[in-house]
Amino acid sequence: MQRTSQYPGMRLLQVSEQTVRRRTVEKLKLELERFPLTPLRIKGGLLSFKPSLLAHQVKEDDSRCTVSLYLRNCEGSDRLLVLCRMTGGFYARGQSQEAPARAPQVVERRFIINCDEDDGETRRAFDMDEVISLQPDHPFDQVTVLFHVYDVASPRAAVGVGHHLNQARLQGNLCDLKLVVEGVELLAHRLVLAARSPVLSNMLTGDFREAREGRVELVDASRVVVEKFLEFLYTDLIEEWQDSELELLQLAHKYMVPELGTECSLRLWSCDPPGALEVLHAVGLSEIICGPLRQRLTAIVVDNHKVLADTPQWLEFKKTFPVLVDTMLGHKAQTSYTMASVWSL
């Protein structure tokens, strides 16, 4: 399952995505006006900028247009890595069933925005022209702009008390709790788990068998995933995800660990079509994923319905959730031509 890419040691701060129809942008071609996209703002003033698209002809005698991305009023207070990806794709809902699938045009650029170069307190705003462009020799009828923003200045190394407590857990020092999963006992400290999860806190401090015996049995997760769950509870960090986002999201929901849920949701945001279908099938009608992520994954599946329609995964999903499938496909024509979605930590 393809998911949001990660840079080791860097904290993913925000995922921002917007899709617009190409002809919407090209309407402003004659006036040489840019089409404004949703501004990107990260909490705490770490970074903000106003992205826009501009369509311009390659030559005077050529009606074809290049679509370029511009960034205006870039301001911030830190050193950040920005991954920018533009995709020139097709409005799949409008294609006939007989029309052949067309590959999208994808261009990508990574750059550092250093917002703390000034010595004074006033931060200068700056602009970036033609950050990235889609070329006219590859046809497309909609444009998707995706930003991933990473914190370069403050790498999320596992340090401090949480790191040392996690090392103590791995060495079995002063542990007073056992998590039993797949017949294996994983040692932990009940104080740490109770502090991170209100559900585990109730289990371990109330008049329950788990509290009396110092033993919690987990029957709905794999050992590998529970080990990563424990790693996050101790350190707020998972070094190696190994495609465990979905199972970890389910654990985060069950044990009420919203920080982990947010991390998983950010990483699931850029699923490929089979991955989006896998998530929707796993969560069903539950509230494990929030509305914006469900809408996003649904759009991925519906846009790629022709590719997924004959797969065993789609047939099983349709058999399990027939009403949900009818609702998804019944609203194909009602989706807006401009869709903006922003996730932030």
Q: Which fold has domain 11-91+103-153?
A: 2.60.210
pLDDT of residue 338: 53
Which tokens go with 95?
Answer: 């294609």
pLDDT of residue 330: 78
The C-alpha atoms of residue 54 and residue 70 are separated, in whole angstroms, by 8
Q: How is domain 156-264 classified at the architecture level of CATH?
A: 2-Layer Sandwich (3.30)
pLDDT of residue 321: 92
From the list 42, 40, 43, 65, the residue with the least C-alpha distance to 51 is 40
* Three-state DSSP state, 275: helix
Domain boundaries, the chain: 11-91+103-153, 156-264, 270-334
Which tokens go with 329?
Answer: 């496909």
State residue 43 phi and psi, 5-degree precision: -55, 145
pLDDT of residue 96: 43
In the chain, what are the helix, strand and coil shares in percent, each to the nearest 5? 35, 30, 35
pLDDT of residue 196: 96
Annotate 179-228 with DSSP letters as a single string: EEETTEEEEE-HHHHHHH-HHHHHHHHSSSHHHHHTEEEE-SS-HHHHHH
The C-alpha atoms of residue 311 and residue 304 are separated, in whole angstroms, by 12
Same fold, 11-91+103-153 and 156-264: no
The beta strands (E) that lie in the chain are given as 11-21, 35-36, 40-42, 47-57, 65-76, 79-89, 105-114, 126-134, 142-151, 177-181, 184-188, 215-218, 339-344
Q: What are the b/e assignments for 135-144, b being 16+ CB within 10 Å?
A: ebeeebebbb
Question: Which residue is associated with the tokens 């060495």?
Answer: 171
How far, CA to CA in Å, does 213 sit from each of 14, 59, 263, 304? 42, 77, 32, 50
Q: Which residues contact 322 (CB under 8 A, 6 or more apart)?
A: none
Q: Are strands 47-57 and 40-42 parallel, antiparallel or unpaired?
A: antiparallel
Cα three-residue angle 274-86-16, rounded to 5 degrees: 75
Q: What is the mean pLDDT of each run of 10 residues along the chain (345 residues)?
A: 59 84 75 84 86 82 80 84 87 46 82 64 75 84 88 65 91 94 95 95 91 91 95 91 92 95 87 91 90 86 87 94 88 52 56
The C-alpha atoms of residue 116 and residue 123 are separated, in whole angstroms, by 8
The C-alpha atoms of residue 309 and residue 130 are separated, in whole angstroms, by 38
23-77 pLDDT per residue, tens: 887 777 666 688 899 899 888 788 889 999 988 876 766 667 888 999 999 888 7
